């Protein structure tokens, strides 16, 4: 076995042991834990539509005929060495020809190339089944698709369906995308010993020796002209020349209807893990979605231009954003014109991720009618993350978020960044904060101007973050009508509102280590009522900026407003009012 194989297998074994320990620690009684989880799932299934603030139809789940085959009936061998691509293909074809049913993957280690789902197929991985996708890049031909919100070519996904209806992936088994064979890795994300072992395994290094690539072909694709991992090539032939760089999402579901993902673990994806695109009636529940923390673009779930979706009872521990909503990027996204809409997200847990729940930055087709509640974020770089930039266009609206718990958030617990340039929340070695610096000069509003508005957050608890909240809109298109109610926010720094219009804070407690609890700059129509905080000598609230107007604070929130509320010299005399509400 090669050094590289040993390295990857050890990483996989470590991940598996970690997952097993997490499961074993959930309850001293495995049966009781299982029964409790089943009860919770049943309750969530019946309560999933309770308290939803907008009208949406109930998501239609797939149903299958009572016909079942095992992949072993078609010659599959679960030894981890035998290639079972044809066995999967024949099993799926047989069930499809019979009008649909279940394709069973029994316990074992099943090596295979890409799996393509057809209408009326339930791919069911039993407990103990582990499907490992081949590391042979030649088995993944280029296909036309969308990635990072742009129309482009990528390698075929390990699991895919296009235009399919009534499909499912179920069971307690595991699907492993062999992502370590595909992904470039930054030296800064590994220990010295890990990096040395990776370099010894093969592949090539970047010219500055700070990035590892699986092949010279993959390195060729990573050019300065690449747009978020989408090369600037024009023809299929040009893409073929850098094929190894075009790593696929693990599960690609395009233009599908009545989709169910229920039960499995999806891990180690080449790029994003789960990518439903332009699909309708999608149910995602009871999943364990995992990627190494160092995985480039190792998102958990990217829901793009989808309609009528429920996402609940899932666990995410990934290398990039966890639960992310998108709708295409720039002109490609606006031309598609398909928002992500009518989505319920409940009872999910996120460990490592760049963001727990995320909208953007590719939101050019819009995102609307979204409910997020009863989620827990532990150590995610950002908790609730909204991002876009000039040039995107699109409208994000009618977002309702409640009952969110966060702990140990390295940056902002809640972040609105309308100057997003692609940086990770925690800056990496090759990133600069100046790339996303705010530009105070307003530009003309056009179809390329993104808009975020009508966002409601309540019952938010943060027990440790670098910053509580960052509201940041654009000078020409302020962040509009964002409400935060009943929140307890413990962070090193407090709340900032920049280029915002219509922020309402009600019963918000801000516990900071330094600086004011609330800073307002060039914003208008800000209403604060029931603000509580640590009683410090420094100002509790700072109000600044020549464009600031109609700021309303409650006198009862302050012992001595003259000392606790600071006003900058460039603030107009009528910009701030203090009333007894």
Residue with tokens 């793009």: 304
Phi, psi of 340 (to 5 degrees): -90, 120
Report DSSP letters for 93-138, one per residue: HHHHHTT-EEEEE-SEEEEES-EE--TTEEEEE-TTEEEEE---GG
Rounded-to-integer distance, Cα 370 and Cα 344, Å: 6
User: Is 354 known to be catalytic?
Assistant: yes
Strand partners, 146: 151
Q: Are 329 and 230 in contact (CB under 8 A)?
A: no
Cα–Cα distance, 312 to 306 (Å, whole number):
16
Q: Please tell me which residue in 320, 330, 499, 501 is annotated as part of the active site.
A: 320
Residue 185 CB partners (closer than 8 Å, separation 6+):
198, 211, 212, 294, 296
Strands (E), 86-242: 101-105, 108-112, 115-116, 121-125, 129-133, 142-147, 150-155, 159-162, 165-171, 174-176, 185-186, 204-205, 211-213
Q: What is the DSSP string of 523-571?
A: -EEEEEES-EE---SS-SEEEE-TT-EEEEEEGGG-S-HHHHEEE-TTS
361: cis peptide before it, omega within 30°? yes
Q: Give me the catalytic one of 262, 354, 381, 557.
A: 354
Query: In 414-507, which residue ranges form alpha helices assigned H by DSSP?
Result: none
Query: CA-to-CA distance for 123 and 13, rounded, in angstroms?
Result: 25
The residue among 420, 400, 532 whose CA lies nearest residue 470 is 420
The residues annotated with a catalytic role in the active site are 320, 354
């Amino acid at each position: 076995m090669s050094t590289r194989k040993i390295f990857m297998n050890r990483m996989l074994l470590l991940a598996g042991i970690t997952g097993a320990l997490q499961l074993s620690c959930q309850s001293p009684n495995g049966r009781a834990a299982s029964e409790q989880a089943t009860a919770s799932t049943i309750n969530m299934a019946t309560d999933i539509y309770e308290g939803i603030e907008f009208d949406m139809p109930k998501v239609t789940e797939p149903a299958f005929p009572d016909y079942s085959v095992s992949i072993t009936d078609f010659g599959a061998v679960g030894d981890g060495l035998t290639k079972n691509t044809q066995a999967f293909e024949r099993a799926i074809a047989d069930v499809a020809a019979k009008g649909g049913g279940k394709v069973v993957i029994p316990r074992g280690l099943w090596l295979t190339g890409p799996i393509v789902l057809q209408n009326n197929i339930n791919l069911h991985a039993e407990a103990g089944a582990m499907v490992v996708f081949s590391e042979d890049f030649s088995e993944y031909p280029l296909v036309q698709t969308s990635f990072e919100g742009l129309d482009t070519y990528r390698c075929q996904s390990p699991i895919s369906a296009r235009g399919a209806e009534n499909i499912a992936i179920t069971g307690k088994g595991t699907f492993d995308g062999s992502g370590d064979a595909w992904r470039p890795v930054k030296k800064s994300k590994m220990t010295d010993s890990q990096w040395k072992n990776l370099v010894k395994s093969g592949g090539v290094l970047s010219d500055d020796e700070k990035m590892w690539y699986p092949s010279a072909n993959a390195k060729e694709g990573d050019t300065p002209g690449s747009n978020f991992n989408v090369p600037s090539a024009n023809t299929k032939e040009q893409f073929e020349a850098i094929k190894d760089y075009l790593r696929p999402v693990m599960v690609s579901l395009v233009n599908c209807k009545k989709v169910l993902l229920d039960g499995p673990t999806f891990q180690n994806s080449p790029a994003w893990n789960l990518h439903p695109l332009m699909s309708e009636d999608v149910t995602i529940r009871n999943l364990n979605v995992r990627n190494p923390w160092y995985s480039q673009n190792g998102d958990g779930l990217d829901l793009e231009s989808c309609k009528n979706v429920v996402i609940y009872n899932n666990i995410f521990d990934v290398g990039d954003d966890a639960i992310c909503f998108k709708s295409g990027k720039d002109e490609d996204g606006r031309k598609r014109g398909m928002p992500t809409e009518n989505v319920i997200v409940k009872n999910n847990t996120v460990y490592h991720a760049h963001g727990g729940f995320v909208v953007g930055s590719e939101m050019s087709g819009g995102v609307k009618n979204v409910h997020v509640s009863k989620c827990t974020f532990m150590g995610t770089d950002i908790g609730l993350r909204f991002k876009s930039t000039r040039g995107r266009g699109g409208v994000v609206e009618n977002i309702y978020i409640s009952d969110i718990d966060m702990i140990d958030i390295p940056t902002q617990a809640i972040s609105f960044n309308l100057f997003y340039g692609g940086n990770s929340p925690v800056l990496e070695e090759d990133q600069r904060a100046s790339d996303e610096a705010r530009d105070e000069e307003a530009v003309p509003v056009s179809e390329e101007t993104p808009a975020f508005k009508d966002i409601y957050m309540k019952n938010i608890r943060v027990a440790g973050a670098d910053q509580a909240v960052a509201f940041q809109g654009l000078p020409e298109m302020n962040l509009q009508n964002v409400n935060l109610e009943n929140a307890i926010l413990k962070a090193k720094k407090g709340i900032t509102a920049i280029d915002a219009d219509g922020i309402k804070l009600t019963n918000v407690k801000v516990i900071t280590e330094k600086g004011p609890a609330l800073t307002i700059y060039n914003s208008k129509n800000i209403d604060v009522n029931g603000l509580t905080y640590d009683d410090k000598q420094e100002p509790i609230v700072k109000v600044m900026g020549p464009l600031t107007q109609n700021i309303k604070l409650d006198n009862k929130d302050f012992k001595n407003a003259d000392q606790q509320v600071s006003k900058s010299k460039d603030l107009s005399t009528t910009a701030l009012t203090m009333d007894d509400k």
